[in-house]
Amino acid sequence: MKNIIISESGVFLGLTSALLVIKKEDFKKEIALNRIKTIQINAKGVTVSSNLLFACAVRGIKIFFNNSNGFYALNTIYQHKSVKVREYQYGFCNSDNSIKLAKKFITGKIKNQKSTLLYFLRGKKYDKTLIDFFNESVKELKSAKTKEEILGIEGMCAMNYFEILKKYSLLPESFILRTKRNSKEITNIALNYGYAILQNFIYKSVINAGLEPYLGVLHSKRSGKPSLVLDIMEEYRSFVVDRNIIKLRSKLSKTKKFETIKKTISKNILDTIHNRYTYNKKKITLESIIQRQIYKLSGYFAGEKNYKSYVFRW
């Protein structure tokens, strides 16, 4: 099954029989709709036919539109619906149990940040107390009692994480500070773009599990903000996105126009999503791991299963 990412303007997406048609100037490619999971449109000036939109809606193929700041819209009329699943979610997220889950998400995030740093710092002389900070933060999380405390610990880890990446030249020299929206700096633009792609994969998996993407336990609840999706994303950011951006630091340093490197970032992230990793003693794709983790989360809401973050092993 394929996940299609369109990262160039001037592309036409249409439908011929049961085939997606991708055209731009002299280029033309056809892909059977029954082989497609998602279509992500990450550029302006892309034309999509109404016939294709309808065909994707009928088949449950999710279509995402992203701008440079990572905001997206989902177009599909097919969703897996389960009232009971969402009842459990609503009850859980409005109970004291929500703090326990918030801790699990951030614990996974911190552990994966630490693993990412250790991987890229191998062979370098570095201050090991910097890594001890992440271990201590995981311990500190255990005694946190409010969302504000959890977010405070997460914020300090994030700040230290990016400071270490900058200190040991694991990001381009132009990177000074992590900024989320409207950034003009190439590394931040690349990170935001990568997170938008990851967000779409999480969103798709949340919908597949019958959960409400806009009701989470950590991120604020407001209209248009998929809180649960953003909560779950925390675990995967460093491995799926940061790791690939770090690997591209040399190219990013020489890149003047972000448009010229979008395809490379998209491809590398898709490769990571489609690669196989160990999960319950089996090798399966990361996309499948994410989906299974979210099914476990659904069971956790219902009190049937325990939920544990997926920690990557290098």
* DSSP string computed for 135-188: HHHHHHHHT--SHHHHHHHHHHHHHHHHHHHHHTT-S-TT--S---SS--SHHH
Instruction: Spell out a b/e string for 14-43, using b for 16 or more CB atoms within 10 Å of the CB, else e.
Output: bbeeebbbbeeeeeeeeeebeebbbbbbbb
Report the candidate in 11, 98, 95, 107 with the shortest Cα–Cα distance to residue 52: 11
Examine the pLDDT at 312 and tell me if it is beyond 70. yes
Helix (H) or strand (E) holding 249: helix 249-254
CATH class belonging to 83-301: mainly alpha
Residue 65 pLDDT: 87
Is the separation of the CB atoms in 274 and 287 below 8 Å?
yes
Residue ranges, comma separated, of all CATH 3.100.10.20 domains in the chain are: 2-75
What is the percent of the chain where pLDDT is above 70?
Answer: 95
pLDDT band, residue 66 (cuts 50/70/90): confident
Tell me what the mean pLDDT of segment 223-237 comes to: 93
pLDDT band, residue 70 (cuts 50/70/90): low
More confident of the two residues 74 and 100: 100
Q: Which fold has domain 2-75?
A: Ribosomal Protein L15; Chain: K; domain 2 (3.100.10)
Residue ranges, comma separated, of all CATH 1.20.120.920 domains in the chain are: 83-301
Record the pTM. Answer: 0.88
Question: What is the pLDDT of the chain when averaged over all its residues?
Answer: 92
Residue 243 pLDDT: 97
Cα(78)–Cα(153) distance, rounded to whole angstroms? Answer: 39
Q: Which of 58-67, 164-173, 190-199, 254-263 has the lowest mean pLDDT?
A: 58-67
Cα(271)–Cα(312) distance, rounded to whole angstroms? Answer: 16
